[in-house]
Copies of this chain bind each other. A is one copy, B any other.
Amino acid sequence: MSAHAHFADRIVLRARALGHPLCAGVDPHLAQIPPLFRRGDMALAAPATAAAVRDFCLAFVTRAAPRAVCLKPQSAFFEQLGPAGVAVLADVLIAARDADCPVILDAKRGDIGSTAEAYAQAYLDRDASMPADALTVNPYLGLDSLTPFAERARNAGRGLFVLVKTSNAGSGDFQDQPIDSAPLFEFVARALAPLAKELQGPTTNWSSLGVVVGATYPEQAEQVRQRLPHSLFLIPGYGAQGGAAADSVRSFVPGPAGLEGGIVNSSRGVLFPPAASSAQHAADWERAIDEALDRACQELGEAVGG
């Protein structure tokens, strides 16, 4: 499928074809990179460290790209390695694109005016040197801060996922505070509705303006769904953060191939399964990763009843 197709259409058609909503996180926590890939003392600034992370991530992309609906690299773990790490992130983004697997860069950017425009150029333009299909963004700065990202959704087949209700324990500090008797996160969801409607896809009706809603808050996810009936939910917190598969898809709705309406992220569960971390040979590591991915696909596939 062309990279210029509507982002949400592309995601949903792929999820229907695969029969599950798995988004595979690419979060290379340094301490967890398996011995098979480690080089030297894995000091943050060592060139060997970036090379090890590159090999590890690209090997994972090879396994995950055909199986997952999309990949989600977490920018922080690459930025942590400095410029060499950002070069590895670029390689990961390009490898996903070459494997024809949609990729969401989890960078949670948010800024205003020409600065927001620069972030959109950096990650969502067709000729971006860090090319992603979608970007996670933070709404605190207001709706005008989303304009450059929405423009790429409109004109370049890109998507954005706006943080609405995050999966952490402290997410309630501000997101749950009442405005006109509804919590802030619901107010944000309501404010996003017109733009979400405008960015619905021609094939599936799903919108390229998606939202992030943690699997740890399934009831809140249902509230957000009422406000944003056509937005894809990017759902972190499944697996390692304690969210169950069934809870993860509580905001999904019936579609032609089971429940649909979002993607469920697993990072540590598929990237660092114990059997992979103790593998002595590449083939053993590959088998363990494949098994972890297939397990997540199956569990989530059962949850959506596809």
Contacts and interface: CB of A to CB of B under 8 A. Distances in A.
Interface string A137-163: 011111111000000000000000001
Interface stretch (A118-126, A220-228, A252-260, A298-306): A118-126
Contact of A114 (B29, B83, B179): B29
B45 A127 contact: yes
A176 to B, nearest CB: 9
A44 B125 CA distance: 11
Contacts of A127: 44-45
Interface string A76-95: 11011111101101100000
Contact of A76 (B86, B115, B168, B191): B115
Contact of A145 (B112, B128, B170): B170
Interface string A162-202: 01001111111111011100001001100100000000000
Contacts of A175: 140-142
A108 interface: yes
A74 interface: yes
A66 interface: no
Q: Pick the most buried of A45, A108, A139: most chain B CB atoms within 10 A of its CB.
A: A108
B118 A80 contact: yes
B138 A140 contact: yes
Contact of A82 (B27, B119, B129, B145): B129
A129 B45 CA distance: 6
A170 B184 contact: no
B118 A167 contact: no
Contacts of A45: 127, 129
A118 B32 CA distance: 13
Given A79-B119, A141-B175, A144-B170, 5 more contacts: A82-B129, A139-B174, A143-B170, A174-B184, A177-B184
